[in-house]
């Protein structure tokens, strides 16, 4: 399951909502920056996100986590709404030779809807106005080509 979630090329085969996904650059042996764009139901505009992703295999358990970053070579596109991943990821816990438990955490701000009449969905994970959006306050990721 870890390999299925972690492999962006294979994701294009099973994720029917993916429009485009690719690695922007590797930061360390366990982290990279990547781009992901996905289809939203009509009348919402499609979304995209640039994230710093980290992963850690721990025996039979695995963690994959990400959060949004800004990258100078990948500014927001005019045909999409740039969402913010505040903190998103998977915890995969091995429970047997051929079984596991997966926990998915998604704290995402889908942002507005870029001029279409329907509002974007808002979940309970949306940050309160007093706290602000972590995705907007993080510095750009530099040094990646």
Q: 48-57: per-residue pLDDT in tens?
A: 999 999 999 9
Over residues 127-138, the pLDDT tens digits come to 433 333 334 444
Whichever domain contains 78, its CATH number is 3.30.530.20
Tell me the pLDDT band of 125, cut-offs 50, 70 and 90.
very low
The answer to whether residue 12 is domain-embedded is: yes
When divided into structural domains, the chain yields a total of: 1
Tens digits of residue pLDDT in 91-120 = 999 999 999 999 999 999 999 876 555 555
Residue 124 inside a domain? The answer is yes
Nearest to 94 by CA among 103, 86, 85: 103
Flag whether 118 is in a domain: yes
Domain assignment of residue 144, yes or no: no
Q: For residue 141, is it within any domain?
A: no
Does some domain include residue 74? yes
Residue 140 within a domain: no
Structure tokens that stand for 126 in this block = 């949306």
> In sequence order, what DSSP letters do the residues of 27-78 get, joined into one string?
EETTEEEEEEEE---TTSPPEEEEEEEEEEEETTEEEEEEEE---TTSPPPT
- Asked, for residue 34, whether it belongs to a domain, the answer is yes
């Amino acid at each position: 399951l870890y390999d299925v979630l972690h492999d962006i090329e294979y994701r294009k085969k099973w994720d029917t909502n993916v429009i485009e996904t690719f690695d922007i650059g590797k930061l360390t042996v366990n982290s990279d920056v990547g781009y992901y764009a996905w289809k939203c139901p009509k009348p919402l505009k499609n979304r995209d996100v640039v994230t710093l992703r980290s992963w850690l295999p721990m025996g039979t358990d695995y963690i994959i986590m990400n959060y949004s970053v800004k990258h100078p070579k990948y500014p927001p596109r005019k045909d999409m709404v740039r969402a913010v991943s505040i903190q998103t990821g998977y915890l995969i816990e091995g429970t047997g030779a051929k079984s596991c438990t997966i926990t998915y955490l998604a704290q995402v701000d889908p942002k507005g809807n870029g001029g279409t009449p329907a509002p974007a969905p808002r979940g309970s994970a949306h940050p309160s106005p007093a706290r602000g959006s972590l995705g907007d306050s993080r510095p750009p990721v530099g040094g990646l080509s």
